[in-house]
Structure formats: structure tokens, C-alpha cells
Amino acid sequence: MKKLWSTSSVTPAGTIGPSRHGPNRMPSAHDGRFEKKILRANVLIQKALRKHKTPVVACSFGKHSMVVLHLVRQQLPNIKVIWNNTGVEYPDTYNFVRRIREEWTLQVIEARPTTTFWNIVDQNGFSIHPRNATWELQRASTECCRQLKKKPTMKVLREVGCDLYFTGLTQYESSLRRMSARKYGKYFYSVKWKHWKCHPILDWTTGLGVPQDVSDSA
């Protein structure tokens, strides 16, 4: 399995080995913080896996979820992967999914909606309003997310008997995610979803002007 980063070698036990590219490979701006985040993520993953029998990784095959999938597979190579196939992904995404599915020999379970994006648009219009808009303006966006993502994903999770759900969520993507991160943390039981959730890279960053943890690991 190919490494997703070149700065360090991470072992299944959650420890970090010497860099394969010399001691000066890590950018000085990190001051070791990136390696510490990898270590903390691995320790959390190991802790969560010990407590659950039917874990899965939610993977969109974007950069965040790919990092989490890589980290989790180092400790549980045959873990099931839940992919929410909305039917309107970019062609490059479908090509990438096929490639990684084959190269990594993944057990991918597709969560497919019972309706289409265009049916939702016909009924509610396009989801073009920001998240802080009124509920009436957000209705299209809310319905699109519910029908294409939440419902099919929850259905598949029930079918596989999932009791632990790994995600690539990071708190810096929006103010709502920052609030959720402060309220629930990285590892918690979701009453709504009826299983435990684990966000190993919740405190990782990707923005300009800050250590770009996910970019460096990709």
C-alpha cells in the first residue's frame, strides 16, 4: 500500500518511525507538530478499534477521508468502506474510486440514494444559498443532503450493523463544524445515528497561513 505522505513512517501500533527522507524532510514551520498529530490520530484509532466489533470508514475519496482510510487500514486492513455515491460525482472521482478500490483491495459498500439530484432540483430548486440563510432558503440544500447523503448512508450503516463510524471531518471547514467539535470532540456516541463516531483528524488543518497537515500527508 502506498504511503500518503513522505515525512514519516507510521506503524500499526500508533508509533512513528524515522523519516525515509532524512531528518530535515519535515518543514521547519511544523516543529514536529504534524508528527504529533499523526501519533495522536493513531492512538485514538487504536483505542476506538479495541472497543468496537463492526467499525467502518466513511470515505468520499477526497483528501481528508483518504488520509483517515490510510491510517485506519494500517491497523485494520480489511475494514469495510462506506462510499456515498450520490450519482453526480465528478468523472475523475469515479475513476479514482475504481483505481484505489483495486489497488488497495477495498471492501467498498456503496450507499446509493433512491432519488436523483435532478428530481430534488425539480422539486426544490438549486441549493445555492449559504448555510446561515433562513430555513426556507436553505430547503433545497437541506433536502439535497438528506436525500442524497444522510438517508442512504444511514440505511447502509444499519444493514452492516455498524457500531463505529470513522470520518475525515475537520473542524476548520466551517463554523458549524467548529461548534460541533467543541461540543462533541473526536470520539462520541451519536444519539441520532445510534452508533459511535470517530474523527481522527478533527484538529488537522488545510488552510493558508497555518500548518497544512492534510496537504502534507497527501
- pLDDT over 70 (residue 216): no
What is the percentage of the chain residues whose pLDDT exceeds 90? 61
Q: Is pLDDT larger for residue 197 or for residue 26?
A: 197
Least confident of 2-11, 37-46, 95-104, 172-181: 2-11
Q: What is the chain's mean pLDDT, rounded?
A: 82
Please state the rounded mean pLDDT for residues 159-185. Answer: 91
- Indicate the pLDDT class of residue 186, thresholds 50, 70 and 90: very high
Strands 16-17 and 9-10, sheet pairing: antiparallel
Query: Residue 113 and residue 146: Cα distance in Å, rounded?
Result: 10
- Residue ranges of domains in the chain, CATH in brackets: 53-217 (3.40.50.620)
pLDDT at 177: 82
- Indicate the pLDDT class of residue 103, thresholds 50, 70 and 90: very high
Query: Residue 7 and residue 29: Cα distance in Å, rounded?
Result: 13
Please state the rounded mean pLDDT for residues 39-66. Answer: 97
pLDDT at 174: 77
- pLDDT over 50 (residue 38): yes
Please state the rounded mean pLDDT for residues 2-16. Answer: 37
- pLDDT over 80 (residue 104): yes
Query: Residue 174 and residue 208: Cα distance in Å, rounded?
Result: 15
Query: Residue 186 and residue 44: Cα distance in Å, rounded?
Result: 9
Instruction: List, as one string, the DSSP characters of 106-142.
Output: -EEEEE--SS-HHHHHHHH----S-TTS-HHHHHHHH
Please state the rounded mean pLDDT for residues 43-65. Answer: 97
Indicate the length of the chain as a whole number.
218
